[in-house]
Amino acid sequence: MSSPNQINAVRLLSNPLKQPHTCLIFWYSMYESDVQNLKVFIKPNASTKVEIWNKTGNMLTVWNEARAEFSYNGVFRLKFEGKKESPGHMALDDISVTEVCPGNPI
């Protein structure tokens, strides 16, 4: 059980990926807390991470789509980091990784 104003953190790390052009699409929900932050990084190795997307704040009770396009030559992992102040809710769903974002020319 979380006490009031306690900061909770979670991380999600993908399997290794290798594609020079990447489109990350996912859905997220964050609400009931004024202090929330969700970030996505690429991790080319254990000690390095590069932020490619972030969102801070209360997004009400709806699901929101997020997209991040980036290029990286080499093997990397995707790392999702979420932090929230209790009480609150944060969720991810339908995470996909493709070479081209839908609706964008090849």
Task: Answer for the pair 56, 64: CB distance below 8 angstroms, yes or no.
Answer: no
Residues 33 and 42: their CA atoms lie apart, in Å, by: 27
Band the pLDDT of 103: cuts 50, 70, 90.
confident
State pTM to two decimals: 0.82
At 30 the pLDDT is 82
Band the pLDDT of 104: cuts 50, 70, 90.
low
Walk me through the domains of the chain, giving residue ranges and CATH numbers: 7-98 (2.60.120.200)
**Residue with tokens 């929101």, as numbered in its chain:** 64
Q: Which candidate, 72, 74, 73, 69, places its Cα nearest to that of 97?
A: 69
At 87 the pLDDT is 72
Tokens of 8: 């909770």
At 92 the pLDDT is 92
For residue 87, cis peptide bond before it (omega within 30 degrees of 0): yes
Tokens of 80: 């999702």
Q: How do residues 38-66 score in pLDDT, each as one tens digit?
A: 999 999 988 899 999 999 876 666 889 99
DSSP β-bridge partners for residue 39: 54, 81
The percentage of the chain sitting over the pLDDT mark of 70, rounded to a whole number, equals 82
